Each structure stands twice: as C-alpha cells, then as structure tokens.
C-alpha cells in the first residue's frame, strides 16, 4: 500500500562493540585506517553476554529509555555459553549434573534479561539463526516499526568461548592466521567477540523529536537452503533468494546497488558460493563488494548487526572499506572487490549479507538518509491467522486424533516414533508434528518458524563431554552442529524441502508463542502466504506441536498472540513449549479460548484462538 516518506523505517541509534573499539565513531575511524583500540569490558557481576550487549544497547538508545511499549529482538548463537561451559566442567568434576547450568540459563533468556537490565517496556524475542541472527532481528524489527510499533531495539551479541572455537576447529573452518576474505590463500574463520544494536523508528517520529538519522532499513530477505547442515548450497540459491527479496522490498533494480557488505567469512566454500550468488543476481552491474570480517573477526550472532552498523558508517563517510587481508583475489571469487585503500560510495543503496549454519541466508537493504523518494511497502496490520493444519506429539499421545481421544489429563507414556537415520528424538518429534500439520500439502513457498527453549541440549553436552575426555582439539563436528539452536529448523527444512523464510526463536517457556507471533506478523506483512509454526523441546519432558497458518479463511483461527514482560514468576507449566501444545490441543478438540503461559524471568504470553464447528 502507498506510504509517504515520513513512515519509512529509519535508524536513529547505533551501538557497536568489537575488536575495533566501542562506539560508532570509533568504528568509522578504524575503517578509515585511523587505528583501533580493543575494548576492555568488565562484567561487573553480569553474564558476559549481557555485559557486552548492555554497552552496545545503551549507546544505541543514547542512554535514555524510549517512550511507549516497543520491541526488543536480540540475535545470538551461544548466549550465556561462556558461563555455562565453565559450570559444566566444574559440575562434571564435582560429580553433579553438568547440564544443570544450561537448563537454568538457556539462550532464550537473552532478550528478557537485556530488557530487564535496561528497564525497557518491550515485547521480547531472541532470534537464534546462527550467523544471520541479528540481521533477521533487524529485518523483523523494521517490519514491526512499519506496522506502527513505536520503536525497536534490534541487534545481536556473542562472546568468546571454548565451545565455538573448538567447534569451528572440528569443522576445519578455523583460520590458521588472520582472516583473508576472498583471497586465494584464505584458510578460514577468525572468531571475534562483539555486540551491535540499532534503534529503529518511523521517520515521522524521528523528525518530531529531532533525532539523528543514520540511514534507513528498506528491505529484508530471508531464505533457507534446505541443502546441508553446515555447507552452503553450491548453487547459492538461498543467498540469491535472500538478496532478491531484500531488493524487491526496497523496490530497487540490481543496477541501483552501489555496495555489498559481504558475509565473507574467508572459508573456501562460503566466499566462493557468495561470489557465485552475487554474479548470478547482479550480472554485469557488478557493485563494489567487501567483507569487514577482516577488521572485526567473525562475531557470529552479532555479525549481521555489526556489519549493518559498519555499512551505515560507510554512508556517513561516503566511502566503503576494503576486505582487510585480501592480497591475491581467488579467481573463483570474481567480484568487484573494493580496492585496498577503500573506494568512494557511488550509490546510496547497499546490501548487507549474513549466511548461517543450517543454510539460513539473510540480507538487509540499507539506504543513506534522504536518498530516495517514497515507495510503496506492505506493512503488518492487526491480523487473524487461519489454521489449516495441526500436529501434536507428547508422551503417550502421537497425533491429533490420539489427542482428541486422550482427554484433558496429563500426557504420560513413551514417545514411540520410528527411527529415521541419525535424527534425535527432538528432531523426529518436530518432523512428525510438522508433517501432520502440512497434511500432505506442498511445502513450496511455506515459511518455517521454530520455537525451542533448549534445542539439542543433549548435543551440547555430548560436545563438551568429548572435549573433556578427548581434548579441546578433538571435538565432534556432528555434535557441534547439532548444538546450534537453528539446527532443528535446518533439519526440518531439508527433510520437508522448505526453502522460504526460516527463523528460530527462543524465549524460555514462551518460545512457541514467540514463533507464533513472528509468524503472524510475517503473514500480515505479506512476507509469506503460508507459514508452518513448530514448537519442540526434549527437556524436561518431550513434546512438539505445529500449526499451518494462512491468510485464507478456515474454521479455526488464531486471533491474537501477545508477549509481555511481567513481574518475575515461576512458570505455569514445566514443558518449555507447553503453551503452543495447549493452543494446538484447544483447536484439535474444537474448543475456543485464551491460552496464557507464564515463563521464568518475567515473561507472559496470551493467545486467543477460536474453533468453529
């Protein structure tokens, strides 16, 4: 629908923390070759991830909490793993349960804890799509601001930890020296620690309060490879789809793009595939391209937001940075590399790419402030999502028909599902529920939203146990990949052939409702025509639920799903995705009503559903 320029989504705050220093200006100067000062951030009683996130978030906010109820979306890969892995080894040595710390501090606590730390009145979501986490957080935040949310604090953070270092070493992706993106002699990823957050609001609101405008978020693309757990699709189809979707949302032709901040991890496969994808989409237009990971290292879940911030810095200086470490370009990476001394920014439109494990590809379209006339953009509105399929798995209850026969009592008994290759029980439960909800219909064009509180907690334990018994240089690559929260969505996309939008959310006991809320917003904004929502966890008891949603009418509907920060209480149910299971159970039994879920850490979800006979 048409809009005027005052309704565009602008960036009014940028907070950056990396090996280049602390602050937007420090990063600008470092990109221009004026030196970098590695930050010294004291935890001061906080977990390391909150200590880093707090610094970047406060800078983005300008030290002042914004007015009105807004949105906080934090992207991460490992969350509080630094403290959790230390506690794992300590508990193992003491003979107690080594996984207990991870149960008490799941990844999904990040957004809730950060909102509490900053005293923000915000709806909270944690996105865990590996290295694309914070790019997806920014894209979703822009979608919500376009729909009328007063403000969105969006970004990501990840800390240095043994698990990540040993995991990349196990995959043989860790660099033997400084990173050399796109270089013929590149050897892999150099890991970095960092945090980055952006404050988004409408241009009208920014102008009214006289805020500084750093740039505009004009497009977001997300697409899943459905190819392999860790390796990119060699044809680059997911990367192409993500870039194309971001450009379509912006309304620009490929010729208008002046610069691409590449994912550019300096691994042999990633740089080659990204170059192939860029050439396939852009053809002869050949925009300038560089990877800033040579400056910052790969900051994992923070990378997308950090690189978006560095792209905004390039707008401020009208100059794009080179790929630090690139000396001898690989002929297989035949793109228009930024010269070693940098280059003038010709066009005010740039793309920022982030590609993660599980084949999750995300691209942001960013524009310099005031660089274009207003364009039409679909925005999310209050919306009723219609239910076209349900799936359910619980102890002793496999499928919705068994659920209807079961009645209202507790779920007890074994989860009897057939073995399927190397899939763990969590993955088999989620796959069974997903297939039941799809009901044999095509998965083409269907988005995938997965909510999980713990993911493959068992795989994280297996990986750390392997390090304890075999040494830090002998971690299991299979266990490392499985420990990544987005691995569940990756497996589902591969087995179901789903190549559209794919996101994983984790918000303690309301993880399922978080996925549901995001899915409804994607439908309302017409980012997808159909979306499959799957909630699954194997801790402390197994269970999975799924809903196939569409804007096409049906007799069952989800009318609203709201998440709130509340006074911290104990959860109302033990199962992490019990709320989504209760929603499915309500609809499967032909009932209607409001489902309320309270989670630890001060989070509540309220969902209203109806089922007409």
Catalytic annotation, residues = 131, 263, 298
Write phi, then psi, for 16 (nearest 5 degrees): -130, 140
Q: Could you tell me whether strands 319-320 and 343-344 are parallel, antiparallel, or unpaired per DSSP bridges?
A: antiparallel
543 close to 537: Cβ distance less than 8 angstroms: yes
DSSP code of 31? H
SS3 139: helix
Alpha-carbon distance of 21 to 484, in angstroms, equals 28
Q: Which two tokens stand for residue 592?
A: 């209607």
CA-based end-to-end distance of the chain? 35
Q: Could you tell me whether strands 556-565 and 543-550 are parallel, antiparallel, or unpaired per DSSP bridges?
A: unpaired
Classify residue 91 as exposed, middle or buried by CB count within 10 Å of its CB (0-12, 13-18, 19+).
middle
**Three-class SS string for 527-583?**
CCCEEEEEEEECCCCCEEEEEEEECCCCCEEEEEEEEEECCCCCCCCCCCCHHHHHH
Write phi, then psi, for 353 (nearest 5 degrees): -100, 140
Nearest Cα neighbor of 599 from 510, 520, 526 is 510
Q: DSSP letters of 475-537?
A: --HHHHHHHSTTHHHHHHHHHHT--S-EEEE--GGGHHHHHHHHHHHHHHTTS-SEEEEEEEE
Peptide bond just before 244 cis, omega within 30 deg: no
**Helix (H) or strand (E) run with residue 54 in it:** helix 48-61
Nearest Cα neighbor of 128 from 483, 477, 509 is 483
Q: Using alpha carbons only, give the angle 239, 167, 484 rounded to the nearest 5 degrees.
A: 60
Nearest Cα neighbor of 395 from 537, 539, 534, 542 is 542
Give the distance between the most distant pair of CA atoms in the chain.
70
Non-local CB neighbours of 108 within 8 Å, separated by 6+ positions: 79, 126, 128, 453, 505, 506, 507, 508, 511
């Amino acid at each position: 629908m048409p809009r005027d320029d005052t309704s565009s989504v602008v960036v009014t705050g940028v907070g950056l923390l990396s090996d280049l220093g602390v602050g937007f200006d420090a990063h600008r100067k470092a990109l221009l070759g004026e030196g970098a000062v590695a930050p010294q951030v004291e935890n001061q009683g906080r977990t390391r991830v909150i200590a880093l996130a707090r610094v970047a978030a406060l800078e983005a906010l300008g030290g002042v909490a914004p007015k009105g109820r807004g949105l906080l979306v934090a992207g991460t890969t490992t969350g509080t793993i630094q403290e959790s892995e230390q506690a794992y080894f300590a508990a193992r040595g003491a003979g107690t349960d080594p996984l207990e710390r991870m149960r008490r501090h799941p990844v999904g606590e990040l957004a809730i804890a950060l909102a509490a730390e900053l005293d923000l009145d915000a709806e909270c979501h944690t996105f865990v799509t590996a290295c694309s986490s914070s790019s997806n957080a920014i894209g979703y935040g822009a979608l919500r601001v376009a729909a009328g949310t007063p403000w969105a604090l969006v970004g990501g953070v990840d800390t240095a930890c043994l698990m990540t270092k040993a995991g990349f070493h196990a995959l043989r992706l860790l660099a033997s020296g400084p990173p050399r993106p796109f270089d013929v002699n590149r050897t892999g990823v150099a890991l970095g620690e960092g945090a980055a957050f952006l404050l988004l609001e409408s241009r009208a609101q920014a102008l009214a309060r006289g805020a500084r405008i750093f740039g505009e978020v004009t497009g977001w693309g997300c697409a899943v490879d459905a190819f392999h757990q860790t390796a990119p699709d060699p044809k680059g189809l997911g990367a192409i789809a993500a870039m194309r979707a971001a450009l379509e949302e912006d309304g620009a032709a490929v010729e208008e793009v002046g610069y691409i901040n590449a994912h550019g991890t300096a691994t042999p496969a990633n740089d080659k595939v990204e170059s192939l994808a860029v050439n396939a989409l852009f053809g002869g237009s050949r925009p300038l391209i560089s990877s800033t990971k040579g400056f910052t290292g790969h900051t994992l879940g923070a990378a997308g937001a950090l690189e978006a911030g560095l792209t905004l810095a390039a707008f401020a200086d009208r100059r794009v940075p080179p790929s630090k470490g690139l000396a001898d370009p690989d002929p297989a990476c035949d793109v228009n590399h930024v010269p070693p001394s940098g280059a003038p920014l010709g066009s005010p439109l740039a793309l920022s790419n982030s590609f993660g494990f599980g084949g999750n590809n995300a691209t942001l379209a960013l524009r310099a402030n005031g660089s274009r006339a207003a364009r039409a953009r679909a925005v999310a509105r209050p919306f009723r999502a219609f239910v076209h399929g349900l799936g359910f798995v619980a102890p002793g209850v496999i499928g919705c028909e068994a659920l209807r026969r079961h009645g209202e009592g507790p779920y007890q008994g074994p989860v009897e599902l057939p073995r399927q290759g190397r899939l763990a029980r969590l993955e088999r439960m989620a796959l069974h529920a997903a297939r039941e909800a799809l009901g044999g219909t095509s998965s083409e064009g269907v988005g995938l939203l997965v909510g999980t509180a713990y993911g493959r907690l068992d795989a994280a334990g297996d990986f750390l146990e392997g390090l304890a018994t075999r040494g830090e240089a002998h971690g299991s690559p299979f266990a490392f990949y499985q420990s990544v929260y987005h691995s569940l969505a990756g497996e589902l996309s591969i087995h179901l052939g789903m190549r559209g939008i794919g996101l994983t959310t984790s918000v303690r006991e309301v993880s399922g409702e978080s996925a549901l809320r995001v899915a409804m917003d994607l439908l309302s904004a017409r980012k997808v025509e159909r979306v499959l929502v799957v909630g699954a966890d194997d801790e402390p008891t197994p269970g999975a639920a799924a809903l196939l949603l569409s804007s096409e009418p049906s007799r069952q509907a989800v009318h609203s799903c709201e998440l709130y920060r509340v006074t911290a209480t104990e959860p109302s149910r033990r199962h992490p995705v019990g709320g989504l299971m209760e929603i499915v159970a309500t609809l499967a039994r032909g009932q209607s009503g409001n489902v309320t879920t309270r989670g630890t850490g001060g989070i509540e979800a309220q969902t209203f559903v109806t089922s007409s006979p």
